[in-house]
Structures are given as structure tokens and as C-alpha cells.
């Protein structure tokens, strides 16, 4: 018996109130405990989302009856079909249904591996579950697109007086096409993500840049996401590429890790091999705060030869240059630290930039494009912001959402009279080892003097 709409509404409102109360309670806890609570909340949200997707896929794939998504012909025929369906005895479980259930189970295990199966290199089961999840999302995407096409045809035939009788794809053909698309898209996306990231060369003008800094190479890496599907081996290969570029500066613009130092210390070890003329620098991303272990990561990164710019800056003087040739390299905490009320952390443009000389070039590291825009709109001089976070959307259809919710999406942007923002598409990926419609990159940035 269907639940009355009023009862569903009451349950929905009560659930929302319960969630808000839980969030408020979490904010009152110590930040390490708070991070664990937020991770638990996220696990629940992921499972709810996957349950809804699994329910949708089951409805469309568990049998291949040649039905359309629109009610065709007449109400009488529809009622007859409903009657037949009710009278049909419960079918025996088929091999196909068993495969679907096992497959959905794998996908539901994917994010849980973040809690139990992280170490120096990815565990085979974590890789399997996340690969399955990538195909699963492509399968759901394809079915939604086919349903939209069918609905569009229904509307066209209705407007032409033909009623809701025509569709492009039957339920059977939609299922077959969706599976074919998902397999092909997943194969391409997984293959792309298995390759080394491409070196992307970008030339950026900087106002008042000293001739001593002309041609300086900054190598930016971002969004490596050491965790269930990225580990020591991939990071070691990335470090080899960086060293071949002979960089002057190396910067990591956040989301290096998805776990604690205790879990991923060995996975991060290759960073110690990075060599640069003026130093290696790091700023936090939102995922560092989700670990609840940021301060320990600062200690570990110092051991690995990285300076963490924690709402701070350093003045860099070029080799053979004078003190008036400085560049102020600044870095701010990720803005999600504010949302999480993470003690001692949070986006702070004043603390980060107030000691930079407004007559000299300022380069800011800020993980999220929203933080980049906030810094550029502040009263402080900022010539160049290096960001990440968006992954260029990572894969379709996530690309659409990433494009619309970020003020800067991917690549180089001019801002105001002389400022620029560069948003990396990420050096690896988060969770799902898939790239579809986006590119993994190691960015080799060359600075040159902006025309007067």
C-alpha cells in the first residue's frame, strides 16, 4: 500500500530537522571528532544517493520487457497491462538479476574502502569497487539521457496530435544502449586515468616582475588524492616527471590526501625526492580537513621538504637579485575549514596577505576558485592565484555541475586590470579512477613581465 503524501512530507521534514540538529551538535565537538562525524555523515549521504541510483537502475535493467517510458495508446490498455503485471506470479531470480545485485553491492562498498582499505598503494578490492562505481554512474547517466529523448519525442507527438504514443527507444533497447555506452565510456575513462598526467605549459604575465624572475618555472600539482585508488607508485611517477622539468618552484595546491598521516605516510614518501631551486610549498584543500589530521600533515610535509603556507607568506629573492626583486608567495587555508569550524584554521586573506609589499608581485596559492575570487576582490594586491579543486569536472556529467558552481572552472583567466587565475584540472582524480572529458595535468607555469 502506497504511503500517503502527507505522511511522506512529515517524514521528510522530520528527517531534515534531525540532520540539522546533528550538524549543529557536530560543530560543538572537538575538531578531530567533528571531522569523524562529518565523514560518517558523508558515508550515510553517499549510501542514500547510491540506493536511489540502484533503485532507478534496477527498475530499468532487472528485466527487458519491451515497454516504453511513456504511457502509450490508451488508459484502457495501460490498465490492462497493470492488471496483467499484478496477476503474473513472482518470477524466479535469474542469473542476470544476481549479477546486477552483486554489481550494485560492489558499488555500495566503494566509499567504505576509504575507511578500511587505504595504505601505501591501493588495495585491489578498493580499485575494483571504484572502477565498478565509475561504470555504474555512466550507466545511470545514459539511461537518464535516453529517457529524456523519449520524453522529448512524446511531447513532439502530443503537440502534433498523435498523443503520447511514440517513443524513440523501447525499455529493452534503452537498457542495451545504456550498457554499451557505459562499458565503452568506462573503458575509455579508466584507460585515460591510468596514464601519466600530461605536462601542460602555461605562460603568465605578472605586473612589475623583476627581470631576475623572467622565465621562472613554477610547477603546480594539485588534487592528487592519495587514498583508496592513488598511492606511492603513481606519486613516484609524478615526482619523476616534475624533476625532469627542472623547476624553480614546486607548489601543491591542496587535496594531496584523503586519509591520516598514520594511514598514508608511506604513500606520500616520494615527495621527498622533489628538487627545485627556490623550494617546495603546500596549501590545504578541503579534503585535508576532512581527514581531521591537518596539523600532523604539516609536520609530515616538513619532513618531506615542503613548507606549508598556513595563512602565511614567504618573500622570495631571485638568485643574484637584490631585496627589491622579491616576490611574495602566499598561501591560504581552504575555505571549508571555516565551514567545519576547524580550530586554528580557515580562509584568512588579512593574515595571509597583509605583510606582502603592495609594490611587489604577489602570487597566492588557494585551493578553491571561490577562495581565489574572494582574495582577488579583497583590498590586497594579488597578481596571480593558483587553484585546483574542480578537477575540470573529472568526468561527464559531473563536468556540468563543476562548471556552474565555480567562479573559475579550468585553465587561465584574466581578472581585473592585471590579475590572473590559473585553475588546474588536477594531477590525479578523486576516488573513481576515471577521466572523461577532462585531463590530468602537471602544470609548468612560466612567468614573464606584463606589458606596461
For the segment 349-376, what is each residue's pLDDT rounded down to a tens digit?
A: 999 999 999 999 999 999 999 999 999 9
Average pLDDT over residues 276-305: 95
Asked if the model's pLDDT at residue 197 lies above 60, the reply is yes
Asked if the model's pLDDT at residue 67 lies above 60, the reply is no
Q: Which of 109, 100, 102 is nearest to 46 (CA)?
A: 109
Q: Which three cell numbers stand for residue 119?
A: 595504505
Asked if the model's pLDDT at residue 305 lies above 80, the reply is yes
Asked if the model's pLDDT at residue 288 lies above 80, the reply is yes
For the segment 84-125, what is each residue's pLDDT rounded down to a tens digit?
A: 444 444 455 678 888 899 999 999 999 999 888 899 999 999
| Per-residue confidence (pLDDT) for residue 116, from 0 to 100 | 87
For the segment 134-162, what is each residue's pLDDT rounded down to a tens digit?
A: 999 999 999 999 988 887 777 777 666 55
Top-confidence residue, 308 or 27? 308
Average pLDDT over residues 236-242: 98
Helices (H), 292-382: 294-303, 336-339, 349-353, 369-376
Asked if the model's pLDDT at residue 266 lies above 70, the reply is yes
Q: Which three cell numbers stand for residue 52?
A: 536511489
| Per-residue confidence (pLDDT) for residue 436, from 0 to 100 | 95
CA 135, CA 184: separation in Å to the nearest integer?
Answer: 9
Residue ranges per structural domain of the chain: 23-73+95-192, 196-449
Average pLDDT over residues 71-82: 42
Average pLDDT over residues 15-43: 65
| Residue 163 pLDDT grade (very low, low, confident, very high; cuts 50, 70, 90) | low
For the segment 404-450, what is each residue's pLDDT rounded down to a tens digit?
A: 999 999 999 999 889 999 999 999 999 999 999 999 999 999 999 88
Q: Which of 20, 12, 13, 10 is nearest to 41 (CA)?
A: 20
Q: How far is CA 246 from CA 97, 276, 277, 370, in A?
A: 55, 7, 8, 31
| Residue 82 pLDDT grade (very low, low, confident, very high; cuts 50, 70, 90) | very low
CA 309, CA 307: separation in Å to the nearest integer?
Answer: 6
| Per-residue confidence (pLDDT) for residue 28, from 0 to 100 | 54
| Per-residue confidence (pLDDT) for residue 452, from 0 to 100 | 64
CATH topology of domain 196-449: Purple Acid Phosphatase; chain A, domain 2 (3.60.21)
Residue 117's contacts (CB-CB under 8 Å, 6 or more residues apart) are 123, 125, 126, 228
Q: Which of 290, 210, 278 is nearest to 247 (CA)?
A: 278
Instruction: Work out the angle between the directed axes of helices 124-159 and 95-109 (0-180°, nearest 10).
Output: 110
| Residue 235 pLDDT grade (very low, low, confident, very high; cuts 50, 70, 90) | very high
| Per-residue confidence (pLDDT) for residue 153, from 0 to 100 | 73
* Cross-strand partners of 385: 364, 421
User: What percent of the chain shows pLDDT beyond 70?
Assistant: 83
The model's pTM is 0.86
Asked if the model's pLDDT at residue 77 lies above 70, the reply is no
Mean pLDDT score across all residues of the chain: 87
Asked if the model's pLDDT at residue 260 lies above 60, the reply is yes
Average pLDDT over residues 64-83: 42
| Per-residue confidence (pLDDT) for residue 233, from 0 to 100 | 97
For the segment 34-62, what is each residue's pLDDT rounded down to a tens digit?
A: 676 777 778 888 999 999 999 999 999 98
Amino acid at each position: 500500500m502506497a504511503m500517503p503524501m502527507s505522511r511522506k512530507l512529515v517524514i521528510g521534514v522530520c528527517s531534515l530537522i534531525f540532520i540539522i540538529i546533528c550538524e549543529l551538535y557536530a560543530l560543538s565537538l572537538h575538531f578531530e571528532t567533528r571531522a569523524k562525524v562529518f565523514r560518517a555523515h558523508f558515508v550515510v549521504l553517499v549510501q542514500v544517493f547510491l540506493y536511489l541510483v540502484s533503485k532507478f537502475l534496477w527498475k530499468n535493467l532487472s528485466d527487458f520487457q519491451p515497454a516504453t517510458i511513456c504511457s502509450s495508446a490508451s488508459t484502457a490498455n495501460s490498465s490492462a497491462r497493470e492488471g496483467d503485471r499484478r496477476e503474473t506470479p513472482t518470477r524466479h531470480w535469474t542469473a542476470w538479476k544476481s549479477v546486477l545485485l552483486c554489481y550494485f553491492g560492489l558499488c555500495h562498498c566503494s566509499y567504505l574502502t576509504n575507511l578500511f582499505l587505504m595504505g601505501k598503494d591501493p588495495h585491489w578490492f578498493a580499485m575494483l569497487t571504484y572502477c565498478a562505481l565509475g561504470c555504474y554512474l555512466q550507466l545511470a547517466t545514459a539511461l537518464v539521457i535516453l529517457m529524456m529523448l523519449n520524453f522529448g519525442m512524446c511531447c513532439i507527438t502530443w503537440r502534433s496530435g498523435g498523443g503520447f504514443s511514440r517513443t524513440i527507444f523501447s525499455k529493452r533497447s534503452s537498457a542495451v544502449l545504456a550498457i554499451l555506452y557505459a562499458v565503452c565510456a568506462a573503458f575509455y575513462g579508466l584507460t585515460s586515468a591510468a596514464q601519466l598526467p600530461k605536462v601542460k605549459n602555461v605562460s603568465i604575465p605578472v605586473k612589475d616582475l623583476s627581470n631576475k624572475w623572467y622565465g621562472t618555472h613554477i610547477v603546480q600539482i594539485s588534487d592528487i588524492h592519495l587514498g583508496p585508488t592513488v598511492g606511492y607508485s603513481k606519486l613516484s611517477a609524478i615526482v619523476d616527471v616534475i624533476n625532469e622539468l627542472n623547476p624553480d618552484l614546486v607548489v601543491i595546491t591542496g587535496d594531496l590526501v584523503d586519509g591520516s598521516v598514520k594511514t598514508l605516510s608511506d604513500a606520500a614518501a616520494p615527495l621527498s625526492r622533489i628538487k627545485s631551486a627556490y623550494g617546495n610549498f603546500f596549501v590545504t584543500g578541503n579534503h585535508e580537513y576532512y581527514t581531521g589530521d591537518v596539523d600532523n600533515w604539516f609536520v609530515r610535509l616538513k619532513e618531506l621538504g615542503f613548507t606549508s603556507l598556513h595563512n602565511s607568506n614567504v618573500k622570495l629573492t631571485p638568485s643574484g637579485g637584490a631585496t627589491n626583486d622579491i616576490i611574495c608567495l602566499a598561501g591560504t587555508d581552504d575555505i571549508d575549514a571555516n565551514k567545519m569550524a576547524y580550530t586554528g584554521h580557515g580562509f584568512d586573506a588579512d593574515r595571509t596577505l597583509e605583510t606582502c609589499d603592495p609594490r611587489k608581485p604577489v602570487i597566492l596559492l588557494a585551493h578553491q576558485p571561490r577562495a581565489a575570487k574572494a582574495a582577488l576582490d579583497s583590498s590586497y594586491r594579488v597578481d596571480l592565484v593558483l587553484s585546483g579543486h574542480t578537477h575540470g569536472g573529472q568526468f561527464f556529467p559531473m563536468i556540468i555541475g563543476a562548471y556552474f558552481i565555480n567562479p573559475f572552472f579550468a585553465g587561465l583567466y584574466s581578472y581585473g586590470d592585471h590579475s590572473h587565475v590559473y585553475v588546474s584540472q588536477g594531477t590525479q582524480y578523486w576516488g573513481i579512477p576515471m577521466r572523461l572529458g577532462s585531463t590530468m595535468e602537471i602544470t609548468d607555469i612560466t612567468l614573464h613581465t606584463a606589458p606596461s
